[in-house]
C-alpha cells in the first residue's frame, strides 16, 4: 500500500474499471466462468482478465474452484468480502444513472431494487448473492 488512507486501500484493490466490471458481472449478470467474462460488452483482454481475477482471489474478494458441471473449467464465486462491495457498485450505478446520458436500458438490473428502496434493495440482493456464491 502506498499510504494508510482507507480510500487508497480500496482503490489499490478495485480502483480500475476492469476489476469493478468483473465484480459487476459476478453480482448481476451471473457470470462465473473465464470465457463468460471475456464475452462482456466492454471487451476485456485475456491478460488483463487473468491479472484482475488473480488479484481479486489474492485479496479474498473471489474464490475459484473446479466446476462440478464442467470438470475442465474453473468457476469463480464472490466471498462475503466481495458481496460486501455491493453498496459500492450500486452507489456508482446510482450516481451514473443520475448524471450520464445514453445509458443502457438494462441498467435497472444493477440499480433497480436499490433505486426503489435502497435499504431493502441492498438487503435483497445481498441475500441472493449469498445463496448463489456462498452455499
Summarised one tens digit per residue, pLDDT across range 4-59 is 888 888 888 878 899 999 999 999 999 999 999 999 989 999 999 999 999 999 99
Query: What is the structure's pLDDT at 57?
Result: 97
Dihedral in degrees, nearest 10, Cα atoms 20, 121, 28, 95: -40
Segment (H or E) for 10: helix 6-14
Cell matching residue 107: 441498467
Contact 122, 116 (CB under 8 A): no
Domains and CATH numbers, the chain: 6-133 (1.10.10.10)
The rounded distance, in Å, linking the Cα atoms of 133 and 135 is 6
The owner of cell 476492469 is 18
- Of 65-69, 82-86, 130-134, the poorest mean pLDDT is in 65-69
Q: Above 70 in pLDDT, residue 110?
A: no
The rounded distance, in Å, linking the Cα atoms of 37 and 50 is 10
Cell matching residue 102: 445514453
List, in order, residues 6 or more apart from 26 with CB less than 8 Å away. 32, 62, 76, 77, 78, 82, 133
The rounded distance, in Å, linking the Cα atoms of 82 and 46 is 22
pTM, two decimals, is: 0.88
Q: Above 60 in pLDDT, residue 1?
A: no
Amino acid at each position: 500500500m502506498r499510504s494508510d488512507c482507507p480510500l487508497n486501500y480500496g482503490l489499490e484493490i478495485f480502483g480500475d474499471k476492469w476489476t469493478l466490471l468483473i465484480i459487476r458481472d459476478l453480482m448481476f449478470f451471473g457470470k462465473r466462468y473465464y470465457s463468460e467474462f471475456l464475452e462482456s460488452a466492454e471487451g476485456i483482454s485475456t491478460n488483463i482478465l487473468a491479472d484482475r481475477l488473480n488479484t481479486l482471489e489474492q485479496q479474498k474478494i473471489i474464490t475459484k474452484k473446479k466446476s462440478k458441471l464442467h470438470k475442465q473449467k474453473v468457476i469463480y464465486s464472490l466471498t462475503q468480502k466481495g458481496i460486501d462491495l455491493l453498496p459500492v457498485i450500486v452507489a456508482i450505478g446510482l450516481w451514473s444513472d443520475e448524471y450520464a446520458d445514453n445509458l443502457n436500458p438494462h441498467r435497472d438490473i444493477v440499480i433497480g431494487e436499490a433505486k426503489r428502496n435502497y435499504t431493502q434493495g441492498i438487503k435483497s440482493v445481498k441475500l441472493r448473492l449469498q445463496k448463489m456464491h456462498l452455499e
